[in-house]
Amino acid sequence: SYAMQVINDYLLAGGEDDCAAHATLLHLDTRSGRGSLSNAGDNQLFIVSDRGFRPLGSSGKALAIHPASTFPMAKFVLQPGE
């Protein structure tokens, strides 16, 4: 996502050699249950409900590792009761 790329560029410009950051950007339309997310780092995301859990997206490269890193948006839809 563009927002994650801006954060990545900002952190890289700070000059910290041993810096890495983990972040998740999430957008959820509460009316439709549709959402999208971008995940940077080792954060493993799940949707948890009374029926159990399911993975939501996947982990990606951490922020501030490489200037050409990309942070794609993954789409999801919440099911009734989640």
Residues 21-52: tens digit of each pLDDT: 899 999 999 999 999 999 998 888 899 988 89
pLDDT more than 90, % of the chain: 48
Contact assessment for residue 5 and residue 71, using Cβ atoms and an 8 Å cutoff: yes
| Parallel, antiparallel or unpaired: strands 34-40 and 46-49 | unpaired
Instruction: Give the residue carrying structure tokens 């493993």.
Output: 44
Instruction: Give the residue carrying structure tokens 């409900």.
Output: 49
**What is the pTM (predicted TM-score) of this model?**
0.77
